[in-house]
Amino acid sequence: MSEDPRTLRHLLSAADLDRDTAVELLDTAARMHALQAREVKKLPPLRGRTIVNLFFEDSTRTRSSFEIAGKWLSADVVNVSAKGSSVSKGESLRDTALTVAAMGVDALVVRHNASGAAARIAGWVGCHVVNAGDGTHEHPTQALLDAYTLRQRLGDIEGRHVAIIGDITHSRVARSNVILLNTLGARVTIVAPPTLMPSGIASWQCETSWDIDSVLSGKAYGDVDAVMMLRVQRERMSGGYFPSEREYAIGYGLSPERLDLLGDAAPVLHPGPMNRGLEISSAAADGERSVVLDQVRAGVSVRMAVLFRLLAGNAEVVV
Amino acid sequence: MSSIVLRGAAPMGGKPTDLLIDEGRILDIAPRISGGPGDRVVDAAGLVLLPGFVDLHTHLREPGREDAETIATGSAAAALGGFTAVHAMANTEPVADTAEIVDLVARRGAEVGLVDVRPVGAVSKGLGGELLAEIGNMARSRAGVRVFSDDGRCVHDSRLMRRALEYVKPFDAVIAQHAQDPRLADHASCAHEGELSGRLGLPGWPAVAEESVIARDVMLAEHTGSRLHVCHVSTAGSVEVIRWAKSRGVCVTAEVTPHHLLLSCDLLDTYDPVYKVNPPLRPAEDAAALRAALADGTIDAVATDHAPHAAHDKDHAFADAAFGMLGLQTALGVVAQTMVEPGLLDWAGVADRMSARPASIGRVAGHGGLIEAGRPANLTLVDPAGSWTVDPAQFASRSRNSPFAGHTLPARVVATLLRGQLTVADGALVEAVPV
């Protein structure tokens, strides 16, 4: 089957999206979003289609978001928790994926704790695959929902400056966001202690800094239009990445004082779950700048847009 | 038993000549040998005659993982690759850490009879890295072990490494180190630490985790006056450390794998675990440094690190899949491509790095060395123009995990002789593999 280059078969990486496709997905998401205000939220386009959420790693929020997105498009959505089914029980990833796909599935939404897992599965199965987070690699629908939220708050993303702060090394959210924000014409600055800065970051399309204050104040790379805080796992302390929660919070946490460094309109994003008092203060998490719940709402809309695009192709959205 | 006449073979790629082989030895080398009526004449016109290759680093998987490889299938792959001796690594199940296990492996190898199987003994009990294995008993056993290695794991404890180096001295044995500081590169580390690992989100395996262990070990070898061998050197920095140690007169030797000579970490882009190996594939600049070091002799030997894996151990996400690649049947072709074609080694150089030096490091009697009358007839005939396309489905190995599938390699093994007996002729096994 020869494919139109704009035909999206899988969504494995934010790099799968060119600018037009990304904008189109965000536009579609906006129309889907309008539905949420309605009493009856369900649309018919994916009736009779089956989507399996194949999750090798626990994630209540991402799984629920994909589940609701599929159901509002009238797809049949099945959740398969494959945690521990591979490797430890001796079944290969290939066997697990082929077994599930053989049940007549139209799309697999895959979450796995190993980087590249969704890409491998896409190479084996005949159906569409959406990467819902693969190890420390990517989480493209998270980047889409972040972009959606930024558009809501800032209007256009083009030319905006976004600071991403936290554990970049282990963050699939950061990788997808750096790619997508660049695709959409934004500037990105990464802030992390050297131990949580990935190797080879010099070749990423972003500025980098170890100094959160100079970045937030705009002294380092110009005014910041939005701040994206990343979750820092407490286990990283035992890996020697930083000495204590206290020191991390002092060095890199979004404290009330640091909020004041920002311009008035700059929103604060966080992919959740938040570690209050560690990477983010309650003042930042609950303040007027916080768009954390907007992100969650956007998550359903952009996932509807992605599933619609993959499964219904270029059909018009009838809303 | 009839004699064999090799007609028109070019020893080390030099002047073509005839050779008479009988009683397991080269009896005569002369421009024209007519031979007796019952002699088998092998037309070797246009072929390069080399001493049979000696692999310092082979995983035969038996005992324990006979679904991936056996001593029989691994021996067949070795013979087809031009090898006449292989060193069977100790990380079997059970581990080869007693005289009984190494004897079992050697005996099974002799029964198969396609190559000399030289067992490697573990340095530490159960590869646990804490207590010395029964090195003396293994050295004194019928297997006569001369190479000890915890390969797959590093002997990371400095004191244990020192003791091991000291303890093997009476046996003229060598410690073959898998250099990997487990604190800098743990079992999860699976991609060269650099731009690619950062972008792909794969746990990094930094060059320094190898180089710092080699630096420590060459100083321990100097301190103890013992023989150290460095397995599968993978970085330019490691080459520098080894070069420095050799210039000081330290008794250190080193090996490089064919895959580290040819492939680079850019291949990991696909997340295909056929490219997952330990140590990991490195950037192209490292591969170039390894080729230069093999050419100038800083790296002594090519060793395959042949590591068969069942398909179901590779059909995982990259991080979850097994480490290792097949190597025996592609080694000569890759060395021809990376070393002979660019002029870095001539065929005498190939003989030195794939036969003479590894035989010397492993103290393998009767292998390696020159091609002259009176010497044991452990030989390989290579077609230097016999390019072929790698198809793992055709391999004698029980596994298929070759990173060279689809590659066209410039030279091929036509025949292999073990003590005067053809194990491989016309590029195929002379007899079916005994199962």
Same domain, A245 and A101: no
Q: Is B200 on the interface with A (CB under 8 A)?
A: yes
- At residue A6, the pLDDT reads 58
Contact A92 B316 (CB under 8 A): yes
- At residue A232, the pLDDT reads 94
Same domain, A128 and A145: no
Q: What's the CATH number where A285 sits?
A: 3.40.50.1370
Interface of B with A in 52-91 (CB under 8 A): none
Same domain, A200 and A77: no
Q: Is B267 on the interface with A (CB under 8 A)?
A: no
Locus of tokens 């070069």: B243
Q: What mean pLDDT comes out for the span B404-410?
A: 98
Chain B residue numbers touching A202 (CB-CB < 8 A):
195
Strand B412-418 relative to strand B379-383: parallel, antiparallel, unpaired? antiparallel
In degrees and rounded to multiples of 5, residue B217 shows phi and psi of -70, -35
Q: At what angle do helices B71-80 and B99-112 cross, to 10 degrees?
A: 50
- At residue B435, the pLDDT reads 60
Q: Is A146 on the interface with B (CB under 8 A)?
A: no
- Residue at A1 is within a domain: no
Closest partner residue to A115 (CB to CB) among B201, B315, B316 is B201
Same domain, A193 and A113: no
Q: Is B416 on the interface with A (CB under 8 A)?
A: no
Contact A114 B199 (CB under 8 A): no
From B418's Cα to the closest Cα of chain A, the distance in A is 40
- At residue B1, the pLDDT reads 56
**pLDDT for residue B377 is more than 60:** yes
Same domain, A254 and A271: yes
Q: What mean pLDDT comes out for the span B178-182?
A: 98
- Residue at A249 is within a domain: yes
CA distances from residue B403 to A11, B68, B81, B275, B406 in whole angstroms, order as listed: 27, 16, 16, 6, 9
Same domain, A126 and A250: no
Q: Show Cβ contacts of residue A319 under 8 Å, excluding neighbours closer than 6 positions.
A: A31, A32, A34, A35, A43
Same domain, A210 and A248: yes
For B237-288, how does the pLDDT look when each residue is reduced to its tens digit (9 = 90+)? 999 999 999 999 999 999 999 999 999 999 999 999 999 999 999 999 999 9
Mean pLDDT of chain B: 97
Q: Is A99 on the interface with B (CB under 8 A)?
A: no
Whether the Cβ atoms of residue B416 and residue B80 lie closer than 8 Å to each other? yes
For B205-247, how does the pLDDT look when each residue is reduced to its tens digit (9 = 90+)? 999 999 999 999 999 999 999 999 999 999 999 999 999 999 9
Report d(CA B160, CA B132) in Å as an integer: 7
- Residue at A317 is within a domain: no
- Residue at A279 is within a domain: yes
Give me the percent of chain B exceeding a pLDDT of 90. 97
Closest partner residue to A94 (CB to CB) among B199, B271, B315 is B315
**pLDDT for residue A4 is more than 60:** no
Closest Cα to residue B245, out of B267, B260, B264, B230?
A: B230
Whether the Cβ atoms of residue B91 and residue B63 lie closer than 8 Å to each other? no
Report d(CA B139, CA B72) in Å as an integer: 24
Same domain, A306 and A232: no
- At residue A2, the pLDDT reads 42
Report d(CA B118, CA B87) in Å as an integer: 5
Q: Is A139 on the interface with B (CB under 8 A)?
A: no
- At residue A51, the pLDDT reads 98
Q: Show Cβ contacts of residue B46 under 8 Å, excluding neighbours closer than 6 positions.
A: B8, B10, B383, B384, B385
**pLDDT for residue A147 is more than 80:** yes
B195, B276, B315, B401: which to substitute to probe chain A, counting the most A Cβ within 10 Å?
Answer: B315
**pLDDT for residue A315 is more than 90:** no
Report the DSSP beta bridge partners of residue B29.
B19
A56, A89, A120: which to substitute to probe chain B, counting the most B Cβ within 10 Å?
Answer: A120
Closest partner residue to A87 (CB to CB) among B204, B272, B316 is B316
Same domain, A308 and A229: no
Give the residue numbers spanning the domain of A25: 14-139+299-312
For residue B242, give the H/E element and its range.
Answer: helix B236-247
Looking at the structure of chain A, the number of domains it has is 2
For B411-425, how does the pLDDT look when each residue is reduced to its tens digit (9 = 90+)? 999 999 999 999 999
For A97-142, how does the pLDDT look when each residue is reduced to its tens digit (9 = 90+)? 999 999 999 999 999 999 999 999 999 999 999 999 999 999 999 9
Q: Let me know if B391 is a catalytic residue.
A: no
For B143-157, how does the pLDDT look when each residue is reduced to its tens digit (9 = 90+)? 999 999 999 999 999
**What's the first-to-final CA gap in chain A, in angstroms?**
30
Give me the percent of chain B exceeding a pLDDT of 70. 99
For B290-324, how does the pLDDT look when each residue is reduced to its tens digit (9 = 90+)? 999 999 999 999 999 999 999 999 999 999 999 99
Report the DSSP beta bridge partners of residue B205.
B192
Q: Is B38 on the interface with A (CB under 8 A)?
A: no
Report d(CA B384, CA B336) in Å as an integer: 8
Q: Show Cβ contacts of residue B359 under 8 Å, excluding neighbours closer than 6 positions.
A: B54, B85, B367, B368, B369
Closest partner residue to B317 (CB to CB) among A114, A175, A198 is A114
- Residue at A3 is within a domain: no
Q: Is B275 on the interface with A (CB under 8 A)?
A: no
Contact B196 A200 (CB under 8 A): yes
CA angle, B380 as apex, B419 and B348 as ends, to 5°? 120
Chain B residue numbers touching A98 (CB-CB < 8 A):
none
Domains for chain B: give ranges and CATH numbers.
4-48+375-429 (2.30.40.10), 52-361 (3.20.20.140)
From A196's Cα to the closest Cα of chain B, the distance in A is 11
A58 pLDDT tier (thresholds 50, 70, 90): confident
Q: What mean pLDDT comes out for the span B366-379?
A: 95
Same domain, A134 and A102: yes
For B41-88, how does the pLDDT look when each residue is reduced to its tens digit (9 = 90+)? 999 999 999 999 999 999 999 999 999 999 999 999 999 999 999 999
Q: Is B187 on the interface with A (CB under 8 A)?
A: no
Chain B residue numbers touching A117 (CB-CB < 8 A):
317
Per the residue annotation, which of B300, B305, B313, B383 is the catalytic one? B305
Contact A86 B198 (CB under 8 A): no
Residue A242 is encoded by which pair of tokens?
Answer: 């930083």
Contact B271 A92 (CB under 8 A): no
Report d(CA A91, CA A89) in Å as an integer: 6
Residue B143 is encoded by which pair of tokens?
Answer: 């297997």
Instruction: Kindly report which listed range (A15-24, A237-246, B337-346, B375-384) carries the lowest average pLDDT score.
Output: A237-246
Chain B residue numbers touching A93 (CB-CB < 8 A):
315-317, 320
Locus of tokens 């294995």: B133
Whole-model pTM: value is: 0.94
What one-character-per-residue DSSP string does B300-346 give?
A: -EE---B----GGGTSS-GGGSPP-B--TTTHHHHHIIIIITTTS--
Query: Mind spelling out the 3-state secondary structure of B339-376?
Result: HHCCCCCCHHHHHHHHHHHHHHHCCCCCCCCCCCCCCE
For B347-359, how does the pLDDT look when each residue is reduced to its tens digit (9 = 90+)? 999 999 999 999 9
- At residue B175, the pLDDT reads 98
Same domain, A99 and A174: no
Report d(CA B310, CA B287) in Å as an integer: 27
- At residue A86, the pLDDT reads 57
Contact A116 B199 (CB under 8 A): no
Same domain, A230 and A106: no
Query: How many A×B Cβ pairs under 8 Å?
Result: 83
A57, A83, A95, A115: which to substitute to probe chain B, counting the most B Cβ within 10 Å?
Answer: A115
Chain B residue numbers touching A114 (CB-CB < 8 A):
316-320
Contact A93 B270 (CB under 8 A): no
A1 pLDDT tier (thresholds 50, 70, 90): very low
Ramachandran class of A251: left when φ > 0, alpha when ψ lies in -120 to 50, beta otherwise = alpha
CA distances from residue A183 to A166, B111, B321 in whole angstroms, order as listed: 22, 64, 33
Whether the Cβ atoms of residue B351 and residue B51 lie closer than 8 Å to each other? yes
